[in-house]
Amino acid sequence: MDKVKITLKDGSVKEVPKGITILEVAKMIGGRLAKEAVAGEVDGKVTDLNYEIHKDCEINILKFEDENGEEVFRHTSAHVLAQAVQRLFPQTKLAIGPSIENGYYYDFDSEHKFTPEDLQKIEKEMEKIVKENLEVERFELPREEALKLMEEKGERYKVELIKELPEDETISFYKQGDFIDLCRGPHLPTTKYIKALKLLSTAGAYWRGDEKNKMLQRIYGTSFPKKKLLDEYLHRLEEAKKRDHRKLGKELKLFTILEEGPGFPFFLPNGMELKNTLMEYWREVHKKAGYVEVETPIILNRKLWETSGHWHHYKENMYALQIDEEDYAIKPMNCPGGMLVYKTEMRSYRDFPMRVGEIGRVHRHELSGALHGLMRVRAFTQDDAHIFMLPEQIKDEIKGVAKLIDEIYTKFGFKYHVELSTRPEDSMGSDEEWEMAESALKEALEELKLPYKLNEGDGAFYGPKIDFHLEDCIGRTWQCGTIQLDFQLPQRFDLTYIGKDGEKHRPIVIHRVAFGSIERFIGILIEHFAGKFPTWLAPVQVKILPITDRQAEYAEKIVEQLEDQGIKVEIDSRSEKIGYKIREAQLQKVPYMLIVGDKEEESQTVSVRSRDNGELGSQKVEDFVEKIISEIENRTLNTIEE
């Protein structure tokens, strides 16, 4: 029997019979792996488990936990959804059904309007298809036969897709039972792998995202290989609904978005307190790290945006206007202005590294359908910094930025992971520049002992980058911090410095953000803390609650004591019962309530109640002030327990 050599993920090499499938390789390695396997990778290409091996190659067995494995699992789930819909509503035509983050969707053209009750029926039909354990088989047809098959089935959207494929391309399909779908694959071997599934919602979607085309009906779903994983995911969804920053932002009077300015948030007094506290913290850590701060104009002329490349490559996202019959644009990013600041004087190698920060207001034209509270807006504040340096300083500066971002995220209790994206196909700069830059980034991460995921070919066209993905308390990830090396802007703006040799040289530039968009970061913080901000961040840190009007004077005296120490304090002097006032303060998620009655006034104390820990008992005002100031100054995450 002919043999082929396969190299496994751990580097080991095995001789196996020619024609063996990926699933058979998994069984050969171990029963558990075979049970958990959902797909394979052959020489880096994702394949079905029943893919046959006919030559020497590298093999990786994918499980659901692997990103590509999860994608295959969810893609097959989308096919099960489509099959269930066509069983129940036979006249339905199929559009597309990809896997997406945390699930999948399928777009349908149906005269029937899908209702929540229909989703329950479709879900039951999907479960039935799973139990039927239908084999998922791949087959290929020449172009003309493929067109004929889809035309006979009346699948006009599939016909349109086939016509756009190259004429000499063989077309692949996947079949499960009597259901056939045009698809590149790969897929699970059978439908039984999908142990737990849930349909989540419906939405309208134009065919191909073009509003000139017909509006289709999109059904969203998710699926898992274990019911426990589905239950955990649905719990996280429920938790996310409770934490929705749009709902909490309204309840806590932090921000609002009005019809007069869609995508342009209005920050209310409480929201501004929060935003200003964040910016004060930003300024403090950056000053300590050797940054200077600048401010660049919001509106600059067309010539600048042509120099930066934005006028030709980003214009559809920019707001343009005319001043004195000349074209201008509102800045969508701070970088070009930062380059002009650099050019205000001649620089020397002795000036480096130059760390220049800017908390800059930027505007981008986002489509109305993409807007989402503070997470996706048209006007936001970006905490940019540009570091100008010598080639030999790259590694140390990258390490400095990574440490600073780590310090910031740790302060808010976030865990995070790091991804390094390398040179894309369409890139600027020489091989030497890219090799130097990528090596410096890798070495910096390795010296910091920061594990990272490598995204080959996913860097920006002007340089490689490091992205920081923070994880909130319910397990969602958000890409916020970025470190990007840039070869393009220094060339476009002809940035130079005088080197040791007395000649002009071009500096290396790092772009970096920590918060990213401060508005979006606030949205993340609201959801992460469910509105219960740590005391140092809270817009109102203490609420004074007099039991009756008799304590008004004593309560005012306490307010003065706290305000003198810089504590953010409010008094609830309404003629309401104390229980009502406490409930209101709890709903406003104020960290501390100080209850004052006749007994407290007589003993010159306060009865302290913590939002998180309940009653803390009677305390001298001075003792309470000392504890809360320590909590604020140290920016601790937890409130006083006793």
Q: Which two three-digit tokens encode residue 623?
A: 């003792």
Q: Is 386 a catalytic residue?
A: yes
d(CA 606, CA 627): 14
d(CA 59, CA 71): 18
Q: Which two three-digit tokens encode residue 596?
A: 């004052």
- Residue 312: the pLDDT is 85
pLDDT (average), residues 487-499: 91
Chain segment 373-425, per-residue pLDDT in tens: 999 999 999 999 999 999 899 899 999 999 999 999 999 999 999 999 998 88
Hey, what amino acid is at 164?
E
Residue scoring higher pLDDT (239 or 525): 525
386, 442, 568, 609: the catalytic one is: 386
Cβ–Cβ < 8 Å for 153, 180: yes
Q: Phi then psi for 306, rounded to 5 degrees?
A: -70, -40
- Residue 425: the pLDDT is 82
Domain locations along the chain: 3-63, 68-240, 253-294+331-528, 297-330, 542-633
Burial of 323 (0-12, 13-18, 19+ CB in 10 A): exposed
- Residue 639: the pLDDT is 62
CB neighbour burial string for 288-298, b if at least 16 within 10 angstroms, e if fewer: eeebeebebee
Q: Which two three-digit tokens encode residue 638?
A: 């937890």
Cβ–Cβ < 8 Å for 103, 222: yes
- For the chain, the 3-state helix, strand and coil shares in percent, each to the nearest 5, are 40, 30, 30
At 428, the pLDDT band (50, 70, 90 cuts) reads confident
Average pLDDT over the chain reads 93
Examine the pLDDT at 507 and tell me if it is beyond 90. yes
Nearest to 479 by CA among 514, 449, 455: 514
d(CA 398, CA 538): 32
Q: Is 609 a catalytic residue?
A: no
Pairing of strands 592-596, 542-546: parallel
Q: Which two three-digit tokens encode residue 236?
A: 């996280």
Q: Is 511 a catalytic residue?
A: yes
d(CA 93, CA 72): 23
217, 382, 541, 551: the catalytic one is: 382
Q: Is 465 a catalytic residue?
A: yes
d(CA 558, CA 565): 11
Chain segment 452-465, per-residue pLDDT in tens: 999 888 887 778 89
48, 107, 383, 384: the catalytic one is: 384
d(CA 17, CA 300): 67
Q: Map residue 190 onto helix, strand or coil.
A: strand
Chain segment 534-553, per-residue pLDDT in tens: 999 999 999 999 999 899 99
75, 187, 465, 611: the catalytic one is: 465
Examine the pLDDT at 642 and tell me if it is beyond 70. no
511, 543, 589, 609: the catalytic one is: 511
Cβ–Cβ < 8 Å for 195, 183: no
Cβ–Cβ < 8 Å for 562, 542: yes
75, 245, 310, 364: the catalytic one is: 364
Q: Phi then psi for 110, rounded to 5 degrees?
A: -140, 140
- Residue 2: the pLDDT is 87
- Residue 500: the pLDDT is 95
- Residue 191: the pLDDT is 97
pLDDT (average), residues 159-180: 92
Q: Phi then psi for 346, rounded to 5 degrees?
A: -70, 135
Burial of 457 (0-12, 13-18, 19+ CB in 10 A): exposed
- Residue 1: the pLDDT is 66
Q: Which two three-digit tokens encode residue 567?
A: 């504590």
Which H/E stretch holds residue 528? helix 518-528
pTM for this entry: 0.80
At 641, the pLDDT band (50, 70, 90 cuts) reads low
Question: Angle at Cα 176 formed by Cα 173 and Cα 177, nearest 5°?
Answer: 130
Q: Is 384 a catalytic residue?
A: yes
At 569, the pLDDT band (50, 70, 90 cuts) reads very high
d(CA 463, CA 361): 24
CATH 3.40.50.800 fits 542-633, yes or no: yes
Which CATH homologous superfamily contains domain 3-63? Beta-grasp domain (3.10.20.30)
- Residue 112: the pLDDT is 95
d(CA 162, CA 535): 59
In sequence order, what DSSP letters do the residues of 233-277 get, joined into one string?
Answer: HHHHHHHHHHT-HHHHHHHTT-EE--TTSTT-PEEPHHHHHHHHH
pLDDT (average), residues 251-278: 96
At 640, the pLDDT band (50, 70, 90 cuts) reads low
Chain segment 201-251, per-residue pLDDT in tens: 999 999 988 888 999 999 999 999 999 999 999 998 898 889 999 999 999
Pairing of strands 292-293, 354-363: parallel
- Residue 271: the pLDDT is 97
Cβ–Cβ < 8 Å for 621, 606: yes
pLDDT (average), residues 446-457: 90
**The domain at 253-294+331-528 falls in which architecture?**
2-Layer Sandwich (3.30)
Q: Do domains 68-240 and 542-633 have the same CATH topology?
A: no
218, 335, 363, 488: the catalytic one is: 335
Q: Phi then psi for 140, rounded to 5 degrees?
A: -125, 150
At 288, the pLDDT band (50, 70, 90 cuts) reads very high
pLDDT (average), residues 589-615: 94
**The domain at 68-240 falls in which architecture?**
2-Layer Sandwich (3.30)
Examine the pLDDT at 594 and tell me if it is beyond 80. yes
Chain segment 28-72, per-residue pLDDT in tens: 998 899 999 999 999 999 999 999 999 999 999 999 999 999 999
